[in-house]
Structure 1
Amino acid sequence: MRLTRRAALAGLAATVATSASAETTESGRIPVAVTARPITSFEPRSPEKRLFGKLTFRSGLVLSGNHSRFGGFSGLWRGPNGHDLVAVTDNGFWLTVKVVSRNGRLAGLERAELAPILGSSGRPLHRSRYYDTESLCIADGVAYLGVERTHDVLRFDWAAEGVMARARIVPVLREVKRLPNNRGLEAIGVVPASQPLAGSIVAIAERSGADDEPTLGFILGGRQPGQFKVIRHDGFDITDLAFLPDGDLLLLERWYRPLRGVGMRIRRIAGASLKPGALLDGPYLIDADLGQEIDNMEGLSVHLEGGRTVLSVISDDNFSFLQRTVLLEFELG
């Protein structure tokens, strides 16, 4: 989500840096030096506490980069071993990095590069009407992006071309195009092979109606394309999704109120309940606020590491000096 929410989240108009300290290479990639400050305790007032709801806090980083395009991360993916990380900014750029961990804790990011996301003609998305990129998943070598305002899903041949891949439009249901202008597809994922809807794209709107109404979700492609709804609680909006290895669906949710700050929740929904016409709900794994080390959390990814299920969450700093880019890791027991 862009401009209007940025001003509200920051409390002031967001300020965007205008100078860049790194130059674009011929390939379009922009090397970025990333500084990472460790977060050793998720709840500063209780530094020894590790268990939060159903999740165990592993580690975290506060990130900053030396390029004006670094920030605004609204979608996240980590590879099978967690070493490769891809994020997408909400103004049309890829971030690719190698994650450095020591003793099971995040230690930093290496070989960080930004690159403009390319449209079908090779023109960067940030110079087109598809600039508002809000959600990301990568499955079976294909990257999918959800685009707000135009309400589109784009696919990229990630395995073959990486950041040089060009967008191809995925057909969507007509109801997708009727979403509110700035409340579009904030969450996207691909149903894993263990489920009846395996291979289908699942996309969910941030908030498609009034505060107390369920939001719309869509099943695209596969054997049973259709529409479903997700119950919303306490004014939280949907900001991302990820599938667990067993097929259950995790939803990342964010809450904001002026003068009161932000909140984060992660909800688990049974994979078997995902079908056209469903009304989805499920228990929360974690519920956090500014008493914990969070910001405007918008990206969620799941990977396995030594048999352990690891959840990664990243924040969108809205390119504001009043916010932070936070990368967190939790373990699901």
Structure 2
Amino acid sequence: MRTLMLRLLACLSLFFFLVPVTYVRSPAPPANDSQYIALEPIALDARTPARTRVGRLAFLGGWKITSDNGEFGGISSMLALPDNRFLMLSDNGTLVGFTLDEARHRAIRPFIAPLPDGPAPPNEYAKKNWDSESFLHDPKTGQFWVGYEHQHSIWRYGPSFARKESVNFPKAMQKWPDNGGAEAVLRLRDGRFLVFSESAEYFKGGYEALIFEADASEPNSKAALMGYRGPKGYRLTDAAILDDKTALMLHRRFTPFDGVSAILSIAQLADFQPGKVATSIPVATLKPPVKVDNMEALAVTRDGDKIIVWIASDDNFSTLQESLFFKFQLLDAENSGKKSGPKRQNEKAEASPGFSTFESD
């Protein structure tokens, strides 16, 4: 009976993962513009609270994020700014910002506010018009870039989001599925932009991505097509530059029987070439009993020589899901404490051809 109930709950959760939020969200409660954000500390594995490792990730902290503000939730991407300041972007066109006080588990100077402009009039906050999925920031100029799906486009905003500076509706993106648009965006040091579709199939394998020769928000910026193939059965939800040669790629999967899981992997920037299909190598798998939800947001910072990885989840504005926020250290492969060896049978089924896999849980 317990197994049957768990499967029924999983099937119900699947409905919330696959159906656009516009149609599953409960009737809107009375407007609440509270700016308070609460952080509740959580363990990586509630069954084994002392656990601190998953693959090459060392757990440094975790929180469940809540707010009474009716527009809070749906975190799809985020930025890690100086002084432990975080800026998160919801897929309903809402910005969530706060400074993380790790010692006291507090969100200092929080705010929740809508984007100043987007692909619809300001009073139209339907998900199909304000589905902001990807996020970039230039610390030198203060400019921000946002990638939208449904209304497939890339927007650039001025410092502090004071104004819209440019917008581009690339022709190649207009063929992407409504709910499979600019799920992740990378900006390379040479000025090129990479824009990844979540579900537009590439004819050579994987899913489509575009390489823009310059600022993707400029209408005259030319783009070339390529493909990206993540771990088998998983779809890309975010990406972040790791260094001059590599990027971290975040993927998620949900099935009625296995529930939700996520894979973090490393891709070589040199593999992102027009007409090619890039892949990546998994470094950690988040799956039960590890605390996990619909992991969609990724950011990378440095603490001396340590690489810090931040991951947050999209609760789809559903009471069955949570907004989670994790802090990890990415360990060196040679120091991760995992021995390489033959693939386990279940790993072979979860990895794409050509992947190097290892025990990640």
Deviation, structure 1 residue 124: 2.6
Q: 2:166 aligns with which of 160, 168, 178?
A: 168
Gapped regions of structure 1 (runs ≥ 5): 23-30
1:28 maps to what in 2? none
Distance 1:42 1:227 in 2: 38
Structure 2 counterpart of 1:188, which letter? V
CA positional deviation for 1:7: 3.5
1:75 CA drift (Å): 1.0
Out of 92, 113, 116, the residue aligned to residue 114 of structure 2 is 116
Of stretches 55-64 and 126-135 in structure 1, the one that deviates more from structure 2 is: 126-135
Q: What do the CA deviations read for 1:197-223 (whole angstroms, capped 9, x no partner)?
A: x2211110111139x940111112339
Pairing 1:269–2:262 present? no
Give 1:138's aligned residue. 137
| Deviations, residues 108-145 of structure 1 (Å, cap 9, x unaligned) | 21211111112279953844864111111212422111
Which of 7, 18, 39 lines up with 1:36 in the alignment?
Answer: 39
Rounded to whole Å, the distance in 2 between the matches of 1:136 and 1:296 is 17
Q: Structure 1 pair 120/185, CA: closer, same or farther in 2 (3 Å)?
A: closer
Please state how far the C-alpha of 1:332 moved relative to its aligned partner. 1.1
Residue number in structure 1 paired with 2:81? 79
Unmatched 5+ residue regions in structure 2? 1-11, 215-220, 332-361
Picking from 9, 13, 16, the partner of 1:8 is 16
Aligned length: 307
Shift of residue 311 of structure 1? Answer: 0.9
Between the aligned partners of 2:130 and 2:167, the Cα distance in structure 1 is 14
Q: Following the alignment from structure 1 to structure 2, what is the Cα–Cα distance between the partners of residues 123 and 317?
A: 25
Match of 2:176 among 176, 179, 182: 179
SS at match of 2:230: coil
Counterpart secondary structure, 1:207: strand
TM-score for both structures, normalised by structure 2: 0.77
User: What is the CA–CA distance in structure 2 between the aligned matches of 1:137 and 1:5, rounded to whole Å?
Assistant: 30
Runs of 4+ in 1 over 6 A off after TM superposition: none
Larger Rg, first or second structure (1 or 2): 2
CA distance in 2, matches of 1:182, 1:205: 9
Aligned to 1:48: 50
The alignment yields a C-alpha RMSD, in angstroms, of 2.8
Q: Report the Cα offset of residue 274 of structure 1.
A: 2.0
**Is the contact made by 2:155 and 2:164 (CA closer than 8 Å) also made in structure 1?**
no
Distance 2:241 2:124 in 1: 29
Moved more, 144-153 or 215-224: 215-224
Compute the displacement of 1:54 (Å): 1.2
Q: Tell me what 1:322 maps to.
A: 320
Greater CA deviation, 71-80 or 201-210? Answer: 201-210
Aligned counterparts of 1:261 and 1:120: Cα–Cα separation in 2? 34
Contact 2:152 2:169 in 1 (8 A): no
Q: For 2:28 and 2:182, locate their aligned partners in 1 and report how far apart those are by CA, in whole Å.
A: 27
Structure 2 equivalent of residue 207 of structure 1: 199
User: How far apart in 1 are the matches of 2:13 and 2:158?
Assistant: 32
The amino acid across from 1:37 in the alignment is E
- Percent identity of paired positions between Structure 1 and Structure 2: 23
Q: 1:121 to 1:216 in 2, by over 3 A?
A: closer
Give how far 1:92 is off. Answer: 1.0
How do 1:250-329 and structure 2 match up within 5 A? 250-329=248-327
Distance 1:6 1:260 in 2: 11
Seen in structure 2, the aligned counterparts of structure 1 residues 133 and 306 have a Cα distance that, compared at 3 Å, is same
What's the counterpart of residue 155 of structure 1? 156
Aligned partners of 2:210 and 2:223 also within 8 Å: yes
Distance 1:321 1:16, change over 3 A: farther
Q: Provide, for residues 66-111 of structure 1, a one-character-per-residue CA deviation record: whole Å limited to 9, x for no partner.
A: 2111111111111144x11111111111112111122xxx822121
CA contact 1:19–1:67 (8 Å) conserved in 2: no
Q: Is the 8 A contact 1:88 1:94 kept in 2?
A: yes
Q: How far apart, CA to CA, are the structure 1 residues paired with 2:120 and 2:17?
A: 33
More helix by share: 2
Q: Secondary structure at the match of 2:45?
A: coil
Check conservation: 2:14, 2:255, Cα contact below 8 A.
Answer: no
Number of the residue aligned with 1:27: none
Relative to the length of structure 1, the TM-score reads 0.83
The alpha-carbon deviation at position 48 of structure 1 amounts to 2.3
Q: Is the 8 A contact 1:132 1:148 kept in 2?
A: yes
Q: Tell which deviates more after alignment, 5-14 or 214-223.
A: 5-14
Contact kept? 1:310, 1:331, Cα under 8 Å: yes
Find the aligned partners of 2:93 and 2:224 in 1 and give their Cα distance. 28
The structure-2 alpha-carbon separation of the partners of 1:313 and 1:121, relative to structure 1 and needing over 3 Å to count, comes to: closer
